[in-house]
Structure 1
Amino acid sequence: MTLRSKSLEIAQSQIGVQEIPKNSNAGPAVEKYLKSVGLGKGYAWCMAFVYWSVKEASLQLNVANPLAKTAGVLSMFNEMVKLRVTTPQPGDFFIMDFGHGAGHTGFVEKILPNGKLQTIEGNTNDEGSREGYEVARRYDRKISQMKGFIRF
């Protein structure tokens, strides 16, 4: 099994995990994700969720984690220049840039018709917020909205 496929499998196992209480950026699972990048509760955690998933997969497969240890979406994009790609594949993670340092990320699970992606994201919700309260599967992210993708 590859690191990408194992990371995606681990991310899938977290679907439905929610902040406790909602909209707090806290709770046992969320704090576990944040701790993996050296942060305590209360921070946005979409990138920490991706990092934690890859870290867990790397430990299970006994391989090095290739990602920078950061909770910053745009920091990760800037650090992973050699891993950037423009055409997504399952297991990659996407990078969205909303300007002023704000971003969002999650795993690409499937490429859908009409330029859309099926994704697994932390710190989102069914409405698509980048400051949501759960790990969820989304079906409406557009490839054209992405700054890029990281393939590891």
Structure 2
Amino acid sequence: MSTLNQLSLKIAQSQNGVQEIPKNSNAGPAVESYLKSVGLGKGYAWCMAFVYWSVKKAAEELKTTNPLIKTAGVLRQWNEINPRLKFAGPKPGDIFIMDFGKGQGHTGFVVEVYSNGTVKTIEGNTNDDGSREGYEVAYRIRKNSSFKGFIRIPN
């Protein structure tokens, strides 16, 4: 039986390769579905909406509640989430939070944690150079030191 964080990660991974249509538009059927899950239309940055959508789908399938705040704001999610769900060290299934200052953040899921201080992630609104304003769902390798913290979804 899947736990909420395992199923959320599995759902996120099922979206690997999904792209904006057209590229760099923050639009397209899948992207608009992610944005709609947090009450927004097309045209917005969608990394947090992608995470929220993934957890929402998993929660619906498991007939449980989504512990995330309904927002497309990465730093709002971090600042308003239950503090008991915040962690410093990553585990697979965690939601990573990055803070670039001036209210700009990025997020996605931890897939794997490596002993060399890097983490494999799956994230939305990224691209091949790891941008926080990209055009696709993709896997990335990021340094553990680049994260502000992690949200651990309760099982």
Shorter-chain-normalised TM-score: which range? over 0.9
Q: Which residue of 2 aligns with 1:101?
A: 103
Structure 1 gaps of 5+ residues are none
> Distance between the aligned counterparts of 2:93 and 2:117, measured in 1?
17
> Distance between the aligned counterparts of 2:9 and 2:146, measured in 1?
21
Q: Which residue of 2 aligns with 1:115?
A: 117
Structure 2 gaps of 5+ residues are none
SS of residue in 2 equivalent to 1:67 = coil
| Superposed displacement of residue 128, structure 1 | 0.4
User: Taking structure 2 as the reference length, what is the TM-score of the superposition?
Assistant: 0.96
SS of residue in 2 equivalent to 1:55 = helix
> Distance between the aligned counterparts of 1:118 and 1:14, measured in 2?
16
Amino acid at match of 1:7: S
Matched, 1:26 2:31: no
| Superposed displacement of residue 126, structure 1 | 1.2
| Superposed displacement of residue 56, structure 1 | 0.1
SS of residue in 2 equivalent to 1:10 = helix
Q: What number of residue pairs does the alignment pair up?
A: 151
SS of residue in 2 equivalent to 1:63 = coil
Q: Over residues 77-129 of structure 1, what are the superposed CA-to-partner deviations in whole Å (9 max), with x where a residue is unaligned?
A: 00112210001100001000000000000000000231100000000011100
CA RMSD of the aligned region, Å?
Answer: 0.6
Amino acid at match of 2:38: V
Which has the higher mean CA deviation after the structures are superposed, 30-39 or 111-120?
111-120
Q: How does 1:1-152 map to 2 (within 5 A)?
A: 1-80=2-81, 81-139=83-141, 141-152=142-153
User: Taking structure 1 as the reference length, what is the TM-score of the superposition?
Assistant: 0.98
- Runs of at least 4 residues off by over 2 Å: none
> Distance between the aligned counterparts of 1:2 and 1:85, measured in 2?
18
SS of residue in 1 equivalent to 2:44 = coil
> Distance between the aligned counterparts of 1:73 and 1:121, measured in 2?
12
